Amino acid sequence: MRIWTFKIGAILICVLVLIAIFAPLIAPHDPNEYNLALKFAGPHSGFWFGHDADGRDILSRIIYGARISFGIGVLVVGISLLIGCALGLIAGYSGGWVDQFFLFVSDVFLAFPSFLFALAVAAFLEPSIVSVIFILSLKGWVTYARLVRAQTLTLKHREFILAGKAIGVSRWRIYFRHLMPNMIGPVLVNASFGMAGVIMIESALSFLGVGVPVNTPSWGAMIDQGTQYLLIAPHMSIFPGIFIMLIVLGFNFLGDGLRDKLAPRGK
Amino acid sequence: MTHYLLRRFISIIPVLFAVSTIVFFIIHFIPGDPIDLILGERALAADRAQLAHALKLEEPVLVQYGYFLKGLISGEWGTSIFDNRPVLELIKDNYGATVVLACAAMFVAMFIAIPAGIIAAVKRNSIWDSIAMFIALVGISVPNFWLGPVLVLIFSVHVGILPISGRESWTSLILPAITLGTGLAAMLARMTRASMIEELKSEYITVARAKGVSERNVIFKHAFKNALNPIVTIVGLQVGTLLAGTIITEKVFSWPGMGTLLLDSIRRRDYPVVEGCVLIISFAYVIINTMADCLYKAFDPRVRL
């Protein structure tokens, strides 16, 4: 099971990344081309996933939607990793009041359920891609910071770190040349699950109308529009949902496989 | 024990205070004039002044924060801008439905997850284990805002045995509970499997088998009983997440709970109600998580309090 979960995850993600990168070449139609004569039309020749309430091609919108999901996912996880790793390293390595203060702040952020926190902030901002990235990064760093802090606590008393300190290696060099490479495995596993979580929350925010702007081809927003016409055009919500599931499944498989590869004792 | 519980609960007071502070400042420091957002840019000056006075917006932010904290402690959480009712009264009217939905979802999750997790652990590395864990991973990956409409399409529209939405009878609860419980079931199944595998590897299980105890008793009376402790903790820790997760499910099924109240208030720009809903759900999340943590420590004799 373990080998194939990693492989399936990697294949799924690679395919979806390629779809996102080459969207203009792959998409059969313009995702914003209106054709009211074909509104609500189901799958037919040349339009495999049918049309939405404005007659736009659902397949092309799904293909362009992959760019939104991946783009937001990569940026949010990247920003969160950057902030989280830096804070976790500083807190874990410094100890004392710095660590205590960090623990309190992160406890406060962890006291909010992620989705509620995102929704509470999104409710007061204009829907935009930048807002979504800001909202999701605002709390996203905490998990990585706690993980890196915990790893730093176990590593900082090891001989190679003590030796580095003894020969006068600078603090930042210890952080990024000695500590960070030794915790990259668990951080990568978390980042993979993190991508799945970010994509799911972004879609949920767009589904509720507080995520990306209206008319942006987002999978969550497409499901929202689809549920309004569920009885007459179920294809409008079914296809985008399958793609959200595939991308989240891909990252979950990848994370699961990576965890087992990097931690053989867990087998 | 009592001393530990007391200390643990006192320790959440600063967290609750900080949570309230963050909620207050999120609402007050986000760009845009709240009066414009609530009344629109073309509102009359008199209406603007009246609303600014009602929301105490002409006061400095720190004074507003003082009023906010005072109201929070005294139980005066403000009044809804939309229907002029006290925020706490609105929350009281809606909270029950959310708790019912969360409990039903938890029941669905445990009903599916525990047998699946036990089978996967007992038949470890078999085809059953692979199937159960594959389904669990798929379950975690299915967005509930998609699963809900798909279930409606199948069971309400095509088969016609369950209501589409609302809260008229107990049958209205089935689809929302399955929608909300699926993700949790998937996670719980993985947790049950991992916990059971750990127990089944223990020496007391080998001893029980050597003594000739039947496999059924080894699994249920010995291993499962001990594996239950981390499972109960996870269930407890997930109750808070479930409360937040009801927001989407309630929207999909028009379930009249806290999620619907929160989303309606966001749409109407009814800030006092949004603030109240976010605070209540966050408070519940913190308190339930602390209780689950204490329960775990209380149940496990190896953990010294």
Tokens of B55: 């929301």
Spatial CA neighbour of A212 closest among A19, A72, A70: A72
Contact across the interface for B146 and A241, Cβ inside 8 Å = yes
* Closest residue in chain A to residue B133, using alpha carbons only: A1
Rounded Cα–Cα distance for residues A58 and A240 (Å): 8
- At residue B148, the pLDDT reads 93
Nearest-CB residue to B266 (from A210, A227, A231): A210
Q: Report phi then psi at B143, rounded to 5.
A: -70, 135
- Give strand pairing partners of B238: none
Does position B293 have pLDDT exceeding 50, yes or no? yes
Spatial contact of A145 and A87, defined as CB atoms under 8 Å apart? yes
Decide if B197 touches A, using CB distance below 8 A. no
| Interaxial angle between packed helices B2-29 and A96-110, expressed in degrees from 0 to 180 and rounded to the nearest 10 | 70
Structural element, H or E, at residue B142:
none
Residue B126 in any domain: the answer is: yes
Alpha carbon distance B117, A56 (integer Å): 44
User: Hunting for tokens 């979806």 — which residue is that?
Assistant: A16
Contact predicate B199/B226, CB 8 Å: yes
Q: What is the CATH number for A206?
A: 1.10.3720.10
| Chain B contact set for A210 (CB, 8 A) | 266
The sign of the dihedral angle between the CA atoms of B255, B257, B258, B264 is positive
**Percent of chain B as helix, strand, coil, to the nearest 5:** 80, 0, 20
**Total count of residues recorded for chain B:** 305
Given a cut of 80, is residue B297 above it in pLDDT?
no
**CB spacing of B247 vs A111 below 8 angstroms:** no
A51 strand-pairing partners: A57
pLDDT digit string (tens) for chain A, length 267 residues:
556 788 999 999 999 999 999 999 999 999 999 988 888 998 988 889 999 999 999 999 999 999 999 999 999 999 999 999 999 999 999 989 999 999 888 888 888 888 888 888 888 788 899 999 999 999 899 999 999 999 999 888 889 999 998 998 988 899 888 899 888 888 999 999 999 999 999 999 999 888 888 888 899 999 989 988 988 899 999 999 999 999 999 999 898 888 877 765 444
CB-nearest to A120 from B129, B142, B278 is B278
Quick check: is A35 in a domain?
no
For chain B, give the mean pLDDT: 85
DSSP class per residue in B81-126: TTT--BHHHHHHHHHHHHHHHHHHHHHHHHHHHHHHHHHHHHTTTS
CA-based nearest distance A131→chain B, Å: 11
In chain A, which residues have their Cβ closer than 8 Å to the Cβ of B248?
115, 204, 207-208
Q: Which residue has the higher pLDDT, A72 or B57?
A: A72
Q: Is A46 within a domain?
A: no
Q: How far apart are CA B144 and CA B135, in angstroms?
A: 15
Locate the chain A residue with the closest alpha carbon to B239. Answer: A113
**Which pLDDT score, from 0 to 100, does residue A266 have?**
43
CA A217 to chain centre: 17
CA distance A139 to chain B (A): 12
Tally the domains of chain A: 1
B 44-73 → A contacts, CB under 8 A: none
On whether residue A219 sits in a domain, the answer given is yes
Residue B216 lies in a domain: yes
Please, what's the largest Cα pairwise distance for chain A? 76
Comparing alpha-carbon positions, the chain A residue that sits nearest to B260 is A208
> Distance between CA A6 and CA B274 in Å, rounded?
42
d(CA B202, CA B217): 15
Give me the domain span that covers residue A105.
2-21+57-266
Q: With an 8 Å Cβ cutoff, are A116 and B263 in contact?
A: no
**CATH number assigned to the domain comprising residue B186:** 1.10.3720.10
pLDDT tops 60 at residue B303: no
Mean pLDDT of B130-139: 87
> How far is A117 from B244, CA to CA, in rounded Å?
10
pLDDT tens for residues B92-131? 999 999 999 999 999 999 999 999 999 999 998 899 988 8
* B169 contact A CB<8A: no
Q: Who contacts B96 (Cβ-Cβ below 8 Å, separation ≥6)?
A: B257
Q: What is the pTM of this model?
A: 0.86
Whether the per-residue pLDDT at B236 is higher than 80: the answer is no
Q: Could you report the per-residue pLDDT of B237-286, keeping only the tens digit for each? A: 787 778 878 899 999 999 999 999 999 888 887 888 888 998 898 888 88
Whether residue A31 lies inside any domain: the answer is no
Asked if residue B245 belongs to a domain, the reply is yes
Q: How far does A29 lie from chain B, in Å, by closest CA?
A: 25
Our count of domains for chain B comes to: 1
Q: Which residue of A120, A200, A253 is in closest CB contact with B23? A: A120
Q: How far is CA B60 from CA B20, B40, B56, B63, B64, in A?
A: 18, 23, 9, 5, 6
pLDDT at residue B170 above 60? yes
Does the distance separating the beta carbons of B137 and A111 come in below 8 Å?
no
SS (H, E, C) chain A: CHHHHHHHHHHHHHHHHHHHHCHHHHCCCCCCCCCHHHCCCCCECCECCCECCCCCEHHHHHHHHHHHHHHHHHHHHHHHHHHHHHHHHHHHHHCHHHHHHHHHHHHHHHCCCHHHHHHHHHCCCCCCHHHHHHHHHHHHHHHHHHHHHHHHHHHCCCHHHHHHHHCCCCHHHHHHHHHHHHHHHHHHHHHHHHHHHHHHHHHHHHHCCCCCCCCCCCHHHHHHHHHHCCCCCCHHHHHHHHHHHHHHHHHHHHHHHHHHHHCHHHC
Cβ contact A19:A250 at 8 Å: no
Instruction: State the best of B13, B146, B252, B281 to mutate against chain A, taking most chain A CBs within 10 Å.
Output: B146
Residues facing A44 on adjacent strands: A47
Which DSSP category does B79 fall into?
B
Read off the pLDDT of residues B16-44 as tens digits, 9 standing for 90 and up: 888 888 888 887 766 666 677 677 777 78
Is B252 contained in some domain? Answer: yes
